[in-house]
């Protein structure tokens, strides 16, 4: 069964303190791995799609990487406005469904 | 502005009273989907649609209905709502897949439903 596990559940960082969020997945053939950002009371906002192991994508202070079993979202020198819940999702080759993890709640303290 | 619009944003209803949550997108996307989000359970797919008149069940379809008569609209229907359907609901859309690739979703702002 396709499955996505995110860790940690919650992360508190000082402003400027770099860290990484983890997304481990089990899927029968990966069609795509997706990262989203969700602010309280709002819909998730698309960040990146990764399709194959070794692929990397960057956007401002965020960098997403992908291996055959997991993806990392690296946050470099975070700012308070990076505080949000970060969601990971996968789509397999055998179906048309997305499977989301439960997210990592990131708080960046000034 | 490219967007997915859901209505209403908030809804309180009573058990058994039929309701419809509307979803409309202005991006000419083929792919649309409904999710519910519950604390500790994350986002779970209810139904999705690959194109007009093509719909399929997600992980938690029980108690819900959908229709896709037009490309831009994908309403979610609760024929007889129950308290366990109290949740935050999101509609999402995406452009057509190319080969094996799939593009990211654009999500609506959400509908917070309370069934008493």
Q: Per-residue pLDDT tens for A2-40? A: 789 999 999 999 999 999 999 999 988 888 999 999 998
In B, minimum Cα distance to A89 occurs at B43
Q: What is the pLDDT of residues A42-80, one digit of tens each?
A: 999 999 999 999 999 999 999 999 999 999 999 999 999
Q: State both tokens at A28.
A: 């029968």
Q: What is the pLDDT of residue A105?
A: 97
Query: Of all helices (H) and strands (E), which one includes residue A89?
Result: strand A84-92
Q: Would you state the torsion angle of the CA atoms of residues A90, A57, B32, A23, taken in this order, to the nearest 10 degrees?
A: 30
Nearest neighbour of A31 by CB, restricted to B92, B100, B106:
B100
Kindly calculate the radius of gyration of chain B based on its CA atoms and give it in whole angstroms: 14
Q: What is the pLDDT of residue B27?
A: 92
CB contact under 8 A, A91 and B102: yes
CB contact under 8 A, B108 and A43: yes
Q: What is the pLDDT of residue A16?
A: 97
For residues B88 and A40, what is the distance between their CA atoms, to the nearest angstrom? 12
Quick one: average pLDDT of A77-101?
Answer: 89
Whole-angstrom CA distances from A101 to A22, A89, B12, B63 are 10, 6, 28, 23
Which one has a higher pLDDT value, A95 or A13? Answer: A13
Q: What is the pLDDT of residue B100?
A: 59
Q: Which of B43, B55, B107 to probe the A interface (max A CBs under 10 A)?
A: B43
Q: Which of A51, A85, A98 to probe the B interface (max B CBs under 10 A)?
A: A98
- Please list the ranges in chain B whose pLDDT falls under 50: none
For residues B89 and A55, what is the distance between their CA atoms, to the nearest angstrom? 32
Q: What is the pLDDT of residue B84?
A: 96
* A40 contacts: CB under 8 Å, gap ≥ 6: none
């Amino acid at each position: 069964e396709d499955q996505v596990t995110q860790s940690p559940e919650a992360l508190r960082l000082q402003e400027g303190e770099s860290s990484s969020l983890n997304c481990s997945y089990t899927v029968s053939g990966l069609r795509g791995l997706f990262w989203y950002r969700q602010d309280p009371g709002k819909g998730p906002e698309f960040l990146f799609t990764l399709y194959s192991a070794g692929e990397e994508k960057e956007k401002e202070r965020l960098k997403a990487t992908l291996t055959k079993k997991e993806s990392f979202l690296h946050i470099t020198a975070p700012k308070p406005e990076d505080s949000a819940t970060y969601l990971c999702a996968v789509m397999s080759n055998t179906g048309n469904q997305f499977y989301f993890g439960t997210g990592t709640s990131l708080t960046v303290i000034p | 502005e490219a967007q997915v619009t859901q209505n209403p944003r908030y809804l309180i209803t009573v058990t058994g009273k039929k309701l419809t949550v509307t979803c409309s997108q202005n991006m000419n996307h083929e792919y649309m989907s409904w999710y519910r989000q519950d604390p500790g359970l994350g986002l779970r797919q209810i139904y999705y649609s690959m194109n007009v008149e093509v719909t399929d069940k997600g992980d938690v379809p029980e108690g819900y209905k959908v229709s896709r008569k037009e490309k831009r609209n994908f309403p979610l229907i609760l024929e007889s709502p129950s308290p366990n359907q109290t949740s935050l609901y999101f509609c999402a859309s995406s452009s057509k897949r190319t080969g094996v690739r799939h593009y990211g979703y654009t999500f609506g702002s959400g509908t917070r439903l309370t069934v008493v």
